[in-house]
Amino acid sequence: MAAAAAPAVAVNGVKTGTTSQAYLDGKVVKDTKVLISDLCRQFYNLGWVSGTGGSITIKVHDDPIPKPQQLIIMSPSGVQKERMEPEDMYVLSPNGSILSSPSPKPYPHKPPKCSDCGPLFMKAYEMRDAGAVIHSHGMESCLVTMLNPLSKEFRITHMEMIKGIKGHGYYDELVVPIIENTAYEYELTASLAKAIEAYPKATAVLVRNHGIYVWGDSWINAKTQAECYHYLFDAAIKLHQLGLDWSTPNHGPIQNVGGVFRTGRDISIKAGTADSGHELETFPRFIVLDIEGTTTPISFVSEVLFPYARDNVGKHLSATYDTVETQDDIKLLRSQVQNDLEQGVAGAVPIPSADAGKEEVIAALVANVESMIKADRKITALKQLQGHIWETGFKNNELEGVVFDDVPEALEKWNALGIKVYIYSSGSRLAQRLLFGNTSYGDLRKYLHGFFDTRVGNKRETRSYIEISESLGVDKPSDVLFVTDVFQEAAAAKAAGLEVIVSIRPGNGPLPENHGFKTINSFEEI
């Protein structure tokens, strides 16, 4: 094997420097090469890497070496994956430069070439601290992106295998971003990085008409998740063939309303009353609901949820400080506060480094969070933390979700008609699921098809509603009805082409004169 000069690598606490070749030839590197060969043969039999497509990369796990400094083993490009041998692998430095290349093989083998997926693999390593990345061309991962060719996401919920995806449970909605394919693999790098950044909870990215990239903390985690993703994609395809909707909690069957059969995303909702004597009334295909002042009294948010989060932020951070979830919350808050300080935002105070001690860090975080809550800021860092605090409150039966009396009946009716209902709130997706999953009317999530939060954008910006309509894959934005109590949100949605109704509820603020929107006092009027 031809080896380039390798940089110093810390092995067992000693920098190998000029002896790095010994490490490259050592057991941990060889074992990782053997592992990739074995996995490629297994994945070939699953149909994931046939026709020389697909690829695998794994970091060389060595306890004394921190993961960011571990070497990378990567399979070659354009070879028969089921016939690969350990000596066919490339060895890369932590920054992606090639340290060791395989020797050429005689005809009919092609000259060796490192995986075309290399730049994309490196993004997962850099942005997600991955330990392994799998790129599959499995048929399921290709076909599932074609079920709705306009959608930028794959969504599924209430399937057992969702539990195999990191950070997800049975009741959660699994969301996988979809990026568009290009002629050359490396051209996907920028869009993959953008998707990874936009979906912090995602552990995979689908490429339309192509395949999927899956990463995990280790090769076992990446493999497990890849198997679960392919299972879920296959389930979605089969449910689609049966006329069942994989993206809904009850995976409901084809509906027959007004003599019209409709299946999932492909329908236009039409219904009418038998004694009306009128033309069939056209209903929206999708309804997107605001929460505060629309489904839920403003007083519940302002007088119950916000005070609970404010009063429990210090207690929550102290009790969960060392968890991955809370450290992620703190990381987001640090970034937000730093930006606030640079912008001169009132109430922002510096957060000391972790070295300053847990108590000092928490004290600064509490001060910033209290200021953010007081200003009612619609920012992801605050909303994510609030969601985790409220999660504890709901689990301990200290909180119960409140909705107006007409909401459950309306959700049930719309669901029976085949109308898909989504929530769009400045509160995090977690907070939304908690509220609707724990009401005095029971779990209402069975009537909801998904949740949007500030990750799609500010609720007063037109671009946010364009993103939502594009995510839903509608032919025209007017297929979506948005219901809110806020005039600025209504104006932004209307500018994006959505149908809009303004909710008039007790405690809501006044609307401008001549606002021009249809108003309702109850969902019964929709």
Tokens of 238: 């089969």
Mean pLDDT throughout 116-125?
Answer: 94
Q: Reply yes or no on whether the pLDDT at 354 is more than 50.
A: yes
Mean pLDDT of the chain: 87
Given 85, 87, 126, 160, the catalytic residue: 160
Q: Reply yes or no on whether the pLDDT at 348 is more than 80.
A: yes
Q: How confident is the model at residue 404 (pLDDT cuts 50, 70, 90)?
A: very high
The single-letter DSSP state of residue 96 is: S
Q: How confident is the model at residue 298 (pLDDT cuts 50, 70, 90)?
A: very high
Could you give the CA distance from residue 518 to residue 503 in angstroms, rounded to a whole number? Answer: 9
- Confirm whether residue 117 is marked as ligand binding: yes
- The residue among 219, 264, 48 whose CA lies nearest residue 142 is 48
Q: Reply yes or no on whether the pLDDT at 275 is more than 60.
A: no
Mean pLDDT throughout 414-443?
Answer: 91
Determine contact, residues 230/42, Cβ cutoff 8 Å. no
Determine contact, residues 448/436, Cβ cutoff 8 Å. yes
Q: What is the pLDDT of residue 262?
A: 40
Q: What is the pLDDT of residue 20?
A: 75
| 391 catalytically annotated | no
Q: How confident is the model at residue 380 (pLDDT cuts 50, 70, 90)?
A: confident
N- to C-terminal Cα separation, the chain: 71
Q: Any idea which residue has 């987001």 for tokens?
A: 332
Determine contact, residues 385/308, Cβ cutoff 8 Å. no
- Confirm whether residue 388 is marked as ligand binding: no
Residues 6+ apart with CB under 8 A from 110: 78, 79
Determine contact, residues 56/135, Cβ cutoff 8 Å. yes
- Confirm whether residue 210 is marked as ligand binding: yes
- The residue among 488, 432, 455 whose CA lies nearest residue 381 is 455
- Confirm whether residue 142 is marked as ligand binding: no
Q: What is the DSSP code string of 296-320?
A: B-HHHIIIIIHHHHHHHHHHHHHHH
Could you give the CA distance from residue 237 to residue 234 in angstroms, rounded to a whole number? Answer: 5
The single-letter DSSP state of residue 86 is: G
- The residue among 153, 152, 193 whose CA lies nearest residue 174 is 153
Helix residue spans in 154-301 (DSSP H)? 189-198, 219-241, 298-300
- Confirm whether residue 426 is marked as ligand binding: yes
- Distance from chain centroid for Cα 346: 32
* Beta pairing, strands 281-282 & 270-271: antiparallel
Q: What is the pLDDT of residue 17?
A: 36
pLDDT above 90: percentage of residues in the chain: 67
Q: How confident is the model at residue 253 (pLDDT cuts 50, 70, 90)?
A: low
Could you give the CA distance from residue 192 to residue 76 in angstroms, rounded to a whole number? Answer: 21
- Confirm whether residue 485 is marked as ligand binding: yes
Mean pLDDT throughout 231-247?
Answer: 91
- Confirm whether residue 266 is marked as ligand binding: no
Tokens of 151: 């959608």
Q: How confident is the model at residue 257 (pLDDT cuts 50, 70, 90)?
A: very low
- Could you report the per-residue pLDDT of 182-229, keeping only the tens digit for each? 988 889 999 999 999 999 999 999 999 999 999 999 999 999 999 999
Q: What is the DSSP code string of 14-66?
A: EE-GGGHHHHHTSHHHHHHHHHHHHHHHHHHHTTSSGGG--EEEEE---TTS-
pTM of the predicted structure, to 2 decimals: 0.52
Q: What is the pLDDT of residue 205?
A: 98
Determine contact, residues 224/166, Cβ cutoff 8 Å. no
Q: How confident is the model at residue 473 (pLDDT cuts 50, 70, 90)?
A: confident
Q: Reply yes or no on whether the pLDDT at 6 is more than 50.
A: no
Mean pLDDT throughout 299-327?
Answer: 91
- Confirm whether residue 471 is marked as ligand binding: no
- Confirm whether residue 218 is marked as ligand binding: no
Sign of CA dihedral 272, 277, 280, 283: negative
- Confirm whether residue 187 is marked as ligand binding: no
Q: What is the pLDDT of residue 436?
A: 96
Q: What is the pLDDT of residue 67?
A: 92
Q: Reply yes or no on whether the pLDDT at 283 is more than 90.
A: no
Q: Reply yes or no on whether the pLDDT at 15 is more than 60.
A: no
Q: How confident is the model at residue 255 (pLDDT cuts 50, 70, 90)?
A: very low
Q: What is the pLDDT of residue 216?
A: 97
Contacts 24+ apart (CB under 8 A), 165-173: 165/203, 165/225, 165/228, 165/229, 166/203, 166/216, 166/217, 166/221, 166/225, 167/201, 167/203, 171/249, 171/433, 171/437, 171/445, 172/433, 173/429, 173/433, 173/450, 173/451
- The residue among 480, 450, 479 whose CA lies nearest residue 155 is 450
Q: Which residues pair with 215 in a beta bridge?
A: 133
Q: Helices 380-395 & 358-374, crossing angle to 10 degrees?
A: 100
